[in-house]
């Protein structure tokens, strides 16, 4: 089958590649662009481990064709922070034990990032509802919710201080 010329902006960087239309975005990110932060958990659109941001939406990248993503702006966990300069959410997950094995974490944090963009001061219920597309087998969610609420307060406090 003919390959398609695909252009993406990933974490602010322009990328071009040839891919079959049927290739899934998660495979393009992991195998062609070596961005292995987003994970493949269920492959059936349920677990959210593959969550990335596409054009300002949280999406399960196992359920998006490379062809559909042509022209899109994508943010992955690699685009949020780096080991020397962690994003507030990453730091908060570490401090509040929001992860154990860490498999769900990139998806959790990428999703939480979008959630806080849309709702900067969520209640606990809103966090739980907004994170409902991400499954975790380890933590029991309690500390994930705590990490996100703490990150939200920290971001809001920093913003108030700046104003």
- CA-CA distance, 138 to 101, in Å (whole number)? 7
- CA-CA distance, 103 to 49, in Å (whole number)? 7
- 22/137 with CB nearer ligand FES: 137
- Does position 137 interact with another protein (CB under 8 A)? The reply is no
- 11/105 with CB nearer ligand FES: 105
- 47/99 with CB nearer ligand FAD: 47
Cα four-point dihedral sign 102, 8, 83, 160 = negative
- 115/144 with CB nearer another protein: 115
Q: Could you tell me which residues come within 8 angstroms of residue 117 by beta carbon, excluding any fewer than 6 positions away?
A: none
| Residues that bind ligand FAD in the complex, under the rule CB under 6 A | 45-46
Q: Please, are residues 136 and 108 in contact by the beta-carbon 8 Å criterion?
A: yes
- 9/68 with CB nearer another protein: 68
- Does position 49 interact with ligand FES (CB under 6 A)? The reply is yes
Helix (H) and strand (E) counts in the chain: 7, 5
- Does position 104 interact with ligand FES (CB under 6 A)? The reply is yes
- Does position 45 interact with another protein (CB under 8 A)? The reply is yes
**How many residues of this chain interact with ligand FES, rule: CB under 6 A?**
22
Q: How far is the CB of 157 from another protein (least distance, A)?
A: 26
Judged by CB under 6 A, the residue of 25, 30, 35, 48 near ligand FES is 48
Rounded to the nearest 5 degrees, what angle is found at the Cα of 30, between the Cα atoms of 86 and 81?
Answer: 10
Judged by CB under 8 A, the residue of 73, 133, 141, 155 near another protein is 133
For the chain, give the number of residues: 163
Q: Please, are residues 65 and 23 in contact by the beta-carbon 8 Å criterion?
A: yes
Contact set with ligand FES (CB under 6 A): 40-43, 45-50, 60, 62, 99-104, 136-139
């Amino acid at each position: 089958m003919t390959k398609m010329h695909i252009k993406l902006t990933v974490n602010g960087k322009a990328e071009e590649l040839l891919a079959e239309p049927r290739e899934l975005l998660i495979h393009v990110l992991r195998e062609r662009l070596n961005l292995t932060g987003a994970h493949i958990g269920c492959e059936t659109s349920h677990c959210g481990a593959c969550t990335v941001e596409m054009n300002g939406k949280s999406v399960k990248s196992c359920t998006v064709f490379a062809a559909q993503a042509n022209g899109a702006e994508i943010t992955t966990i690699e685009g949020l922070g780096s080991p020397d300069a962690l994003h507030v959410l990453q730091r908060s997950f570490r401090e509040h034990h929001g992860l154990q094995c860490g498999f769900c974490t990139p998806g959790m944090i990428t999703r939480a990032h979008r959630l806080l963009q849309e709702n900067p001061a969520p209640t606990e219920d809103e966090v739980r509802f907004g994170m409902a597309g991400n499954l975790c087998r380890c933590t029991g969610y309690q500390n994930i919710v705590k990490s996100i609420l703490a990150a939200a307060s920290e971001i809001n406090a920093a913003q108030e201080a700046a104003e």
